[in-house]
Amino acid sequence: MQIRRFYGLPLLCCGMLAASLPFESRAGVDPFEFQIYGYQTQGKGNLDPELLSSYIAVGHTAGNGGTSPTFASQSMMRYAIELEYGLTDKIDFAYYLNLARPDGQDLQYAGSKFRFRGRIAEAGELPVDLGWYSEVEWWSSKFNDDQLEGEFMLNMQKDMGPWTIIVNAPDIEKVIVGNNQRMVFEIGWRGEASYQMTDRTRVGLQFYGSPGTVNDPTPLAQQQQYVVPTVHTVLFNAFRSSLGLGFGLNEGSDLFFLKANIHFGGDLKERIYD
């Protein structure tokens, strides 16, 4: 009951604030971070460098379509270099450097972000293992009209034998500086259902989506909704990785992309939630 009260009040306040502000509608998914966050954290003093990468194989040929608000998303390559460090046993800190190569152009700086991620209680103490995530992100104006954004979301995980269900929602985002700073909170969600096949291989089906702002959802055809069959495994007996094929489910999405997230630290025996 105490945990429900703790989160219920901030979310209620967000809803009341959203109803009282002017707004513009948009709906998007962070293309630099096709990543699902599980309950477990790194642990105090542990460092896990990670490379997140994606390639839009079939996208949009003009800006403001699919995963790109400026450049054409077609043939866009994106990389996020993530450095995650365990501040305590329950709280991680991470820095991300975002790089992108639009079709026919050089690799360019796209933005950066700082984020904190934590977990509540110990595994199994609650009916669903519960965590949280918060970030501040700034963008190059060449890649996004909104230069500074803040984000908060809850992480929920349930392990049932070889099966794992993870839901990252609600994902609440607010533009602080930029063209859409008067927009109310945008909401989104991510999730995965996965099955542990062997000690080092897990297969899953990931979902990413955003219906737009809390009080003015974007028309379904213009939203971005993706399903991503994913294999989590250990490459070369050394690197934990998540490899996926992404499929857009409506006109506002890019039709097809590839993603590869590779860890260069951490325990090889840990389950991967990317």
Strand partners, 115: 94, 135
* Region at 218 (left for phi over 0; alpha for psi -120 to 50; beta for the rest): beta
Q: Does the residue 269 lie in any domain?
A: no
- The closest alpha carbon to 165, from 208, 126, 205, belongs to 205
What whole-number distance in Å separates Cα of residue 90 and Cα of residue 229? Answer: 29
Q: Does the residue 268 lie in any domain?
A: no
End-to-end CA distance of the chain: 30
pTM of the prediction?
Answer: 0.86
CB-CB contact of 150 with 178 (8 Å): no
Q: Does the residue 183 lie in any domain?
A: yes
Q: Does the residue 273 lie in any domain?
A: no
| Structural domain containing residue 182 | 2-263
Tell me which residues of the chain have a pLDDT lower than 50. Answer: 1-26
pLDDT for the residue numbered 263 = 95
pLDDT for the residue numbered 52 = 98
CATH number of residue 251's parent domain: 2.40.160.40
CA angle 175, 177, 179 (to 5 degrees): 80
Q: Does the residue 271 lie in any domain?
A: no
Summarised one tens digit per residue, pLDDT across range 81-124 is: 999 999 999 999 999 999 999 998 999 999 999 999 999 999 99
Q: Does the residue 270 lie in any domain?
A: no
Find all residues with CB under 8 Å of 52, minimum gap 6, and list them.
32, 33, 34, 35, 79, 80, 82, 259, 261, 274
Q: What is the domain count for the chain?
A: 1
pLDDT for the residue numbered 32 = 94
Residues in the chain: 274
Summarised one tens digit per residue, pLDDT across range 219-256 is: 988 899 999 999 999 999 899 999 999 999 999 999 99
Q: Does the residue 272 lie in any domain?
A: no
* Region at 104 (left for phi over 0; alpha for psi -120 to 50; beta for the rest): left
Preceding peptide of 219 cis, ω within 30°: no
Q: Does the residue 274 lie in any domain?
A: no
